[in-house]
Amino acid sequence: MGAFAGVGQINYANTAPLIDTNPTRFIGRVSVDYYPIKDLRAGVSYTAAFGDNLGRAELEYQTPIRGLALTAEAAKGDHGYDHLLFGVRYYFGSKKSLRDRQRQDDPPGFMQQVLQGLGLYGAEYNQKGNAYLPSQGVSSGDYGSYGSDIESVWGRFTPPSPTPYPGTPPPTTPGHRDR
């Protein structure tokens, strides 16, 4: 069993409508790992990050080849966030079972929680942005993901104040409209 708790902060370079671009919020995780055999780990966890939730299931099997393990992970979270990962991991060092190696030599780090917290917040950003752009007269065929395509549609309307792109004059494209 494991737990992690802390505070995280994200600082977007520019403001964005409908989402806090400078959040400082709780990040926490609880997890349970079970070893049905000494070289197979099954785990589940729940993460809360920046007000969003994520459930995750993991499997890891250390093969008979010394140090070589196969991994699989599935996760589902708020705002349409999900992922499915498969991988290979190699452990250096003496010959040990997976259970002994993870308990003695390889403590879990917190970087995974940080990255998944950013992914969850990014999914919220995209979902809220995709709801916002049509309200500004931008058709859904003009963009894919709010986070990746906002630059291409931003010039179609007057950005909220303060201007999210300091030093840039207001757009004058044919699709421009005032609020």
Q: Along the chain (179 residues), what's the average pLDDT of each consecutive run of 10 residues? A: 87 77 88 96 94 94 94 94 93 89 76 79 81 72 52 49 49 49
Q: What's the CATH number where 10 sits?
A: 3.30.1300
Q: Is residue 109 part of a domain?
A: yes
In a domain, 170, yes or no: no
Q: Whole-angstrom Cα distance, residue 67 to residue 65? A: 6
In a domain, 133, yes or no: no
Q: What pTM, to 2 d.p., does this model score?
A: 0.68
Would you state the pLDDT for residue 128? 80
Domain that holds residue 29: 2-126
Has residue 79 been placed in a domain? yes
Q: Is residue 113 situated within a structural domain?
A: yes
What is the count of structural domains for the chain? 1
Q: Residue 149 domain-assigned? A: no
Residue 27 within any structural domain of the chain: yes
| Residue 36, pLDDT score | 97
The pLDDT score that the predictor gives to residue 140 is: 59
Give the E-state strand segments of the chain in sequence order: 2-9, 24-37, 40-49, 52-62, 68-77, 82-90
In a domain, 148, yes or no: no
* Peptide bond connecting 162 to the previous residue in cis, omega within 30 degrees of 0: yes
Model pLDDT, residue 157: 47
Q: What are the backbone dihedrals phi and psi of residue 56, each rounded to the nearest 5 degrees, phi first?
A: -140, 140
Q: Which two tokens stand for residue 2?
A: 């494991």
